[in-house]
Each structure stands twice: as structure tokens, then as C-alpha cells.
Amino acid sequence: MQLWIVCSFFGVSVLTIAFLIQEIPLNNYYLLLLIGTPLALFTNIFSAIPIAKIEISKINLVKVILSVTSFTLILCFYQFSDNRNIVLYFLFLLIANFLSSLYIYYSVYIPYDDLISKKNNPLSLVKIIKKGMQYSFPLFVYGLNYKMDLIILPKFVSNSELGIYAQGVSFAELIWQIPAILSLVIFSHSISNDDNNKAFSTNLLRNTKKLLLLMIPLLILYWYIVDFFLPIFYGPEFAYSSMITLLLLPGTFSIVAFNILNADLSGKGKPMTGAKIFSFGAIINILGNLVIIPIYGINGAAVISTLTYILCTVLFIIRYKTIINEY
């Protein structure tokens, strides 16, 4: 609860300051975003309990509530209402976050209330924040790698090209939903079990290779589907986004292996292993984008991202093998 209060205050404060610095008026939809932040944080923070208890069904249900609620409300209102205001979109996100936090409160917070200390212990909070920073820094590094091209591109290409590229990226990154639940299960298992570390990790590496082989024909089929339906749903202006997706798919495909194996190492208390490798990758990504984008535009950005993802994943797998052999 202390962590949630601190993070909520910090998150809302940072967002408010960012809006003020950018001279963004705190109108209705930004206020809805600020209100929804503590609710989203409540869900994320207290989801740690079912993860530690390997109660994956509860985590899955939270994700279902978030996605299905917002999607259903958006579909209904935008399909049957002429009031297509952006405020509605933020309102739907707020409702989805409220329902998911309500579910976490009744299914996690209340049942495990006896585990939660009623004493005010600032030292425990500091310890939790320090541990959290060890895991949040790698996430920042990964996000830097995945979004660096979108930060650099606006300086060299038009807004229309940027939109085409962003749409292609979104479809390429959709395949990360495949290992998302696997990563959660693996992380939960790794933090809850100390026995047979080497056997589990060895089998995980072997099964990851099998999964990647099975995904190859599915990815080929996936790209043909994207190439066919993308201009139908988004208009002919976005037809070239499918080419961006094609250029990015080898890289995002390699990240599937990284996400799965990194969940194991993070659960074993080694979250910085991947961060160190991807910090090196971020430097290559930035330099590569600065050199290639002025010449080849969005195609160059996609190729650099793919090459960086593949390089980092290969280096990570080599390091992963070394670590599991030390057990």
C-alpha cells in the first residue's frame, strides 16, 4: 500500500509537470488519464501476489478485463454513436482500469490481507523500491531499443511516412503477444522455485528453439494476412506499412526468444543480464539510425532495428547458456 501511494503520487505529479512544460491544457481527457494512473498502478503492484503464488489465471483475467472492456465499449460507442469524441476513448480506458483494479482488490488484496503488514515500516518500502529499480531499469533499456527509431525518424521524414512506419511497427510487434503469457508463467516459476534450476533452464532453451521453428511458417502466413487486410482496414495510404512489418519481422521474431529466456533469468534474480546487452544494442541502434535514416528513410530504420534485435538476442542466448552451465 505504501508503494502504491508513493508511485501514484509520483506518477500523477510527473504527468502533470510534463503537461505543463509542454503547455498542454489539463482538459477532460488528460484529467481522465491522471485519474486512471493510480488505478492502473494498483492493478500492477498487487498483481505481484498472484505472480508469486503462480496463480496465472488471475493475471490472465486482469488482462482480459482490460482489453475486452475497453474494446467492447469503444466498438459499441463508436459504432452506434455519432459523438466520436476522444474523451470517450480515455473514459473507456478509465473504466477498464477501474474494473481490473476492482477485481484485484476483491480477488487478491482481501484474500491475502493477512499477509500484508499493518505496521508502517519505511525501511521495507525503501528496500522494495531499490529492488524494483533493478527490474525497472532493464525495462527502460528495452523500451529505448524498441522506440528509438520513432524518436529519431521525425527529424528526417514527413509525418505521413512516420505514420506508415508506426503502423508497420505495431503489426510487427503484435507477435510479442505469443510469448507474453509464457514469459509470465516462466517468471512466476523461476521466482517461486529454487530446485532444478539447470534442468528447467536447459529444457526451456530447448523448447524455445522448437517454438521458434514452429513460428516460422505462422509468421509467413501472418505477413500475407497483414499485407492483404491492412489497406482494407486502414486505407490505401497505409499499404506500404506491410513492407515495414516484413522488414521488422525477423528482428521481432528473434525478440520472442529473448523475452522467454529473459523471464527465466529475471525470475532468478538476474534482470541486469539482458539490460547490459541491450544497452550496447541501444548505442548501435542510435548510431545506425542516425547514419541510415537520412539515406534510406523508414526502410533503413526498420532494417537497423531488425539487425539490432537479432544481434542482441544472439549475444543474450550465448550469455544465457554460460549462466545456466554455472548452476
Please indicate, yes or no, whether residues 179 and 286 belong to a single structural domain of this protein. yes
For residue range 189-202, what is the model confidence (pLDDT) as tens digits?
Answer: 777 665 557 888 88
pLDDT higher than threshold 80 for residue 178: no
Cell of 290: 542516425
Are 180 and 263 in the same domain? yes
Q: Does 127 map to a domain? A: no
Per-residue pLDDT of 54-95, as tens digits, reads 777 787 788 888 888 878 887 777 666 666 677 777 888 888
Confidence of residue 222 (pLDDT cuts 50, 70, 90): very high
Residues 200 and 76 in one domain: no
Q: How confident is the model at residue 303 (pLDDT cuts 50, 70, 90)?
A: very high
Grid coordinates standing for 173? 510487434
| pLDDT at site 165 | 94
The answer to whether residue 227 is domain-embedded is yes
Residues 292 and 153 in one domain: yes
Tell whether 116 and 144 lie within a shared domain.
no
pLDDT digits (tens, 9 = 90+) for 119-138: 666 677 788 778 778 878 88
Q: Is 251 inside a domain boundary?
A: yes
Its domain, for residue 109, covers 1-120
Domain count, the chain: 2
pTM of the model: 0.75
Q: Judge if 147 and 60 occupy the same domain.
A: no
| Whether residues 176 and 313 fall in one domain | yes
Domain boundary among the residues 120, 152, 167 is at 120
Q: Are residues 174 and 310 in the same domain?
A: yes
Instruction: Show which of 90, 120, 150 is a domain's final residue.
Output: 120
Task: Give the Å distances, CA to CA, from 145 to 162, 170, 306.
Answer: 17, 15, 11
Domain identity same for 105 and 159: no
Please indicate, yes or no, whether residues 214 and 88 belong to a single structural domain of this protein: no
Residue-wise pLDDT for 1-32, tens only, equals 888 898 899 999 998 888 888 777 767 778 88
Q: What is the pLDDT of residue 177?
A: 77
Which of residues 94, 120, 146 is at a domain's end?
A: 120
